[in-house]
């Protein structure tokens, strides 16, 4: 189901220029220059703000798991969204972001850092009473807040590259060399170390598709993870 807010057509039309929506099952919404996916209550002016929930600030209420029905998009931003997708759905999402971007288009993602969660939530050196709480808190990080999969830098970098992105840049919270992405993060922050941020924030540019790398990634995910979910 697709829901548009009153006045949305004017905002989208102004932002979209001459672009048109495309693809089977199109949402019949002109393609905007910038997409903010999983926006929650955070509304960015000049962006089309998408979320599955009908919340204040959402321009278009849609489930993007069926694809992004846009093309020629300049930039896509998603903060604390990827971890809410199963890993195969996340890869499908990245592939669709790649498809809908114009040549040289950009993506910026922010998602919890698995390495930070592991180091800060659990220690085998803790006393038994503390380990009980740590065990609960570690599993909360994996399964709470509707989380489905937590990423480390290596997995996320390989997934982006396999989906056709290049020139990956790992960024700090709110920082970017690109004005379009500067100062966008809004999610709660936690204590970082310089070498261990609590979130992974990465920017990448649309490059050529790499079918061999994608096939290798999908084979790895199936062999090491997905096959065991249905066992």
* pLDDT tens-digit map of 45-99: 999 999 999 999 999 999 998 899 999 999 999 999 999 999 999 999 999 999 9
Asked whether the predicted pLDDT for residue 27 surpasses 90, the reply is no
How is the chain split into domains, by residue range? 3-112+149-229
Percent of the chain residues past pLDDT 70, beyond the cut = 87
Sheet-wide strand order for 34-37: 3-4, 60-61, 48-51, 34-37, 73-79, 101-112, 199-206, 165-170
**CATH number for the domain whose boundaries are 3-112+149-229:** 3.40.50.150
pLDDT digits (tens, 9 = 90+) for 185-231: 988 777 777 788 889 999 999 999 999 999 999 999 999 999 998 76
> What gap in Å lies between CA 80 and CA 110, rounded to an integer?
6
pLDDT of residue 19: 33
């Amino acid at each position: 189901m697709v829901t548009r807010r009153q006045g949305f057509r004017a905002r989208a039309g102004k932002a979209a220029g001459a672009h048109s929506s495309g693809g089977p099952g199109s949402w019949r919404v002109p393609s905007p220059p910038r997409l903010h996916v999983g926006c929650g209550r955070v509304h960015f002016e000049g962006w089309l703000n998408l979320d599955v929930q009908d919340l204040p600030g959402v321009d278009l209420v849609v489930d993007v798991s069926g694809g992004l029905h846009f093309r020629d998009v300049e930039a896509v931003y998603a903060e604390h969204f990827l971890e809410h997708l199963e890993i195969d759905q996340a890869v499908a999402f990245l592939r669709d972001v790649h498809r809908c971007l114009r040549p040289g288009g950009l993506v910026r993602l922010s998602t919890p850092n698995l390495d930070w969660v592991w180091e800060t939530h659990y220690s085998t050196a803790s006393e038994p009473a503390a380990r009980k709480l740590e065990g609960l808190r570690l599993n909360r990080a994996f399964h709470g807040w509707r989380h489905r999969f937590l990423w480390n830098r290596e997995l996320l970098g390989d997934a982006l590259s396999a989906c056709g992105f290049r020139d990956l840049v790992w960024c700090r919270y709110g920082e970017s060399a690109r004005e379009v992405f500067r100062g966008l993060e809004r999610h709660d922050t936690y204590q970082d170390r310089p070498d261990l941020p609590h979130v992974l924030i990465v920017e990448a540019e649309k490059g050529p598709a790499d079918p061999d790398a994608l096939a290798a990634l999908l084979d790895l995910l199936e062999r090491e993870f997905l096959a065991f979910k249905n066992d």
